[in-house]
Structure 1
Amino acid sequence: MKSKDLIKEVLNNQLLMTLSTVTREGNAKSRLLEFAINNDNNALYILTHNQSNKINEIKFNEKVYITIYSGANTLDEIAGISYINIDGIAKIIDEKKEFELGTNLVFEKYPMLKDFLTDLTEMNLVKVIFSSVFVPNETGMMDEIKY
């Protein structure tokens, strides 16, 4: 499978990602999150509470690292795992039109969140713009695709 095809497959078919940020003290933090992809601008969106640690960490350092992968339950499945790593820049979206676009993409992918997230004034939309995407090659090493 070609690198761009693998990137598209993983982004469009997986439900969770691991987002890594850095605290003010220089500690790495990772967490599982829902995400929605915007295929038009090589970016993904995360909807999160405006008081979350990740928002403060992104305000401090906008560089983030993401891993998205399909799950595996056996050794055979591990050998065929599909995953990508994304080196990106996270931006907190204030502009109303893009906030609505990103929020709608998240709600399309996760319709159950509409019932859970009833007060969007307490939420921030984070857009992660891809700098590089890393995909595994036939040897198990990672190839870098620049954006």
Structure 2
Amino acid sequence: MKRTLLLLAACALLASCTETVYKEYETDLVGNRWQKNDVKTFNFTLEESGVYDIAVDFSHVYGTQFPSVPLKVVLVKPDQSRETVDYLMQLRDGEGNELGDCTGDYCDLREPVFTKKELKAGNYQISVAHVFDYEFVPNVLGIGVRVTESED
């Protein structure tokens, strides 16, 4: 009986988790500087139409001097239509506390940019650029994109 309850609990837990259908992460930032002309582009294919969440993964050095990084995220759909979102990625709260999951000198953030987005099967492209006031964002360790099935 106990074993059956544990099995049912595990199945319920797994059923409630969202499935990642695509993820990619780039760490090719020379000197941990994300240059303004270095637009990160990710291509993926959805095998099935459905409702998805698209998030940006962002890693930076703990204690970076800027509280936020302004981003421009462009989603190109299979029909070549585009959807653009201007997104302010908050690195710290109003009191200066890190918002990311920080371990040692590194902080990781995952920010949803598109949520509960109905997408058809096909090929997609996502571009992530910063629109920072300067030529580069310092202390950046990596940038990525993650597409998951939305929870009901």
TM tier, shorter chain?
0.3 to 0.5
Structure ranking higher in strand proportion? 2
Structure ranking higher in helix proportion? 1
User: Which structure ranks higher in relative contact order (CA pairs < 8 Å, sequence separation ≥ 6)?
Assistant: 2
Task: Report the TM-score, using the length of structure 1 for normalisation.
Answer: 0.35
